[in-house]
Amino acid sequence: MYETFFNLRMKPFDLVPDPSFIYLSKSHKKALTFLDYGIRERAGFILLTGEVGSGKTTIIRNLLNKRYEQLVLAKVFNTRVTSEQLLAMINDDFGLQTQGKDKVTLIRDLNDFLVDQYARGNQPILIIDEAQNLAPELLEEVRMLSNLETSDSKLLQIILVGQPELRTILSTPELRQLRQRISINCHLQSLNRQETERYIMHRLEVAGNALAVEFPFESLDIIFRYSRGIPRLINIICDFLMLSAFAEEMKVIPVEMVREVIGDLDFDNHFWSSGAVTPPEGLSADAGAASHLLENNDMRALLNDIARRIDALEGTNGSPVQTVITEFQDRFTQLQNSVSSHMAKADSQIFSLIRKLDEIVPPHKDDSALEMSHEPTNVGFVRRVFGGDTFGRRK
């Protein structure tokens, strides 16, 4: 709709997972490298997790575009199924007949197919997306499929893709055997502030015009805080911003437009399960406070874990190895995203108060005393460390 106005070949912020738009952040690059290694080395189980909209499907599609030799692929996307339905979907995607066959026959057909593919030198891979929806007993049956093997090789490689809660499910005692068989383990982190800016510029460039529209620094700050670095949410915000800029015939995205779009989308309530800062009608303030207490406990747990690791390192004689340094970087990224989330919720509360005050006492154009100032009087320690004030401005 707005492509011609911005001199673009295509929409830069479409929600369809398109491998040509993939932006490899540090976390995404690491996951892609690990997955590629796992496939080439024929590792048994591979686990890929990440938040909704973090880019898991795009990573998988990019991976499969590498054109591995003699790869035979089956993909399962509907995971709210019974054991027999799951087997039928796997066999069907491998091109096997499933009509009128019971579970025993389905397993036998799959085994015969895998043996035949092994004899041909092919590499069958099963990708199960949204695996967090599988019941523990179904995950155990998936593990049993990995027992289909020859004397020297696994016949089937399995990639489990799911949301972070999949890791919680796999940590249960009854899935210990499955957990121990996972050879490659990847988790997609959300983008940090710098990566969010690069992600937006990258998508504009791939779409045909990196200079199509200008995102000022403050506007990017607010986009990052409300999206929390989740690529899909960045796309949603930026697509609406491009549409709004087109309607206003503007080539710069001002802060006011970002706030207006985020307000129209009701971002906290619609996209984040934690909801907005103000408790919904009918919910006590104590319940809202309990929600914040849980979030504060999450941040406190991260800080305590970092402190424990530092204490352990100080008790050793050697220097920390690179893996430990990388782990600290990941944990600080999680902490930064958590802090950004709290700051975004503070923004939401302030915006709501401003709107309500404007409704009660509309500002007079000649009365400057009634105009609301958007500049906070004090900037706390956390904001000085992580940069930016309540509304995304840098010092």
Give the range of the structural domain holding residue 199, as residue numbers without chain letter: 1-14+192-270
Q: What is the DSSP letter of 99?
A: T
Domain membership flag for residue 158: yes
**What's the pLDDT score for residue 74?**
93
| Shared-domain flag, residues 10 and 34 | no
Contact 195, 25 (CB under 8 A): yes
Please check whether residues 203 and 184 belong to one and the same domain: no
**φ/ψ (deg, to 5) at 32:** -65, -40
Sign of the Cα pseudo-torsion (15, 20, 26, 31, in order): positive
Cβ atoms of residues 252 and 258 within 8 Å: no
- Do 35 and 75 lie in a common domain? yes
Residue 264, pLDDT score: 83
8 A C-beta contact, residue 49 and residue 57:
no
Is there a single domain that holds both residue 95 and residue 137? yes
**What pLDDT score does 370 carry?**
40
The CATH number covering residue 223 comes to 1.10.8
Encoded tokens for 310: 């530092």
Residues 35, 154, single domain; the answer is yes
With tokens 């972070």, the residue in question is 164
Q: Which of 254, 270, 286 is the last residue of a domain?
A: 270
Contacts of residue 356, Cβ cutoff 8 Å, sequence gap at least 6: none
- Does 137 have pLDDT greater than 80? yes
356 found inside a domain: no
Section 37-55 average pLDDT? 89
Whether 294 shows a pLDDT value over 70: the answer reads no
The beta strand positions in the chain, using DSSP E, are: 45-50, 71-76, 123-128, 157-162, 182-188
Residue 148 lies in a domain: yes
pLDDT by residue (tens digit) across 1-13? Answer: 789 999 999 999 9
Identify whether residues 34 and 131 lie together within a single domain: yes
Rg of the chain on CA atoms, in Å: 25
| Measured distance between the N- and C-terminal CA atoms of the chain, rounded to whole angstroms | 37
Angle at CA 292, nearest 5°, toward 290 and 296?
115
The total number of structural domains that make up the chain? 2
Is residue 278 a part of any domain in this protein? no
Q: Where residue 275 falls among pLDDT bands split at 50, 70, 90? A: very low
pLDDT digits (tens, 9 = 90+) for 358-387: 666 555 544 444 444 444 444 443 344 444
Confidence class for position 78, pLDDT limits 50, 70, 90: confident
Same domain for 261 and 178, yes or no, is: no
Q: Is the pLDDT of residue 349 over 80?
A: no
Is residue 82 in a domain? yes
Where a domain ends, among 270, 292, 315?
270
Asked, for residue 202, whether it belongs to a domain, the answer is: yes
Do 149 and 249 belong together in one domain?
A: no
Residues 36 and 158 in one domain: yes
* Alpha carbon 251 to chain centroid, angstroms: 29
Task: Tell me: do 166 and 207 sit in the same domain.
Answer: no
Domain termination residue (choose one: 188, 213, 235): 188
What are the pLDDT digits (tens) for 171-210? 999 999 999 899 899 999 999 999 999 999 999 999 999 9
Domain of 152, CATH number, reads: 3.40.50.300
Is the Cβ–Cβ distance between 390 and 350 less than 8 Å? yes
Cβ contact 106:87 at 8 Å: yes
Residues 66 and 126: their CA atoms lie apart, in Å, by: 17
Residue 130 counted as domain residue: yes
Cα–Cα distance for residue pair 142/74, rounded to 1 Å: 14
Are 39 and 183 found together in one domain? yes
**What does each C-alpha distance from 317 to 101, 311, 313, 320, 325 come to in angstroms?**
63, 12, 8, 9, 16
Determine, yes or no, domain membership for 382.
no
Mean pLDDT score across all residues of the chain: 77
Q: What is the pLDDT of residue 381?
A: 38
Q: Which contiguous run of DSSP H or E holds residue 259?
A: helix 255-265
Residue 183 and residue 202 in one domain = no
Residues 6+ apart with CB under 8 A from 168: none
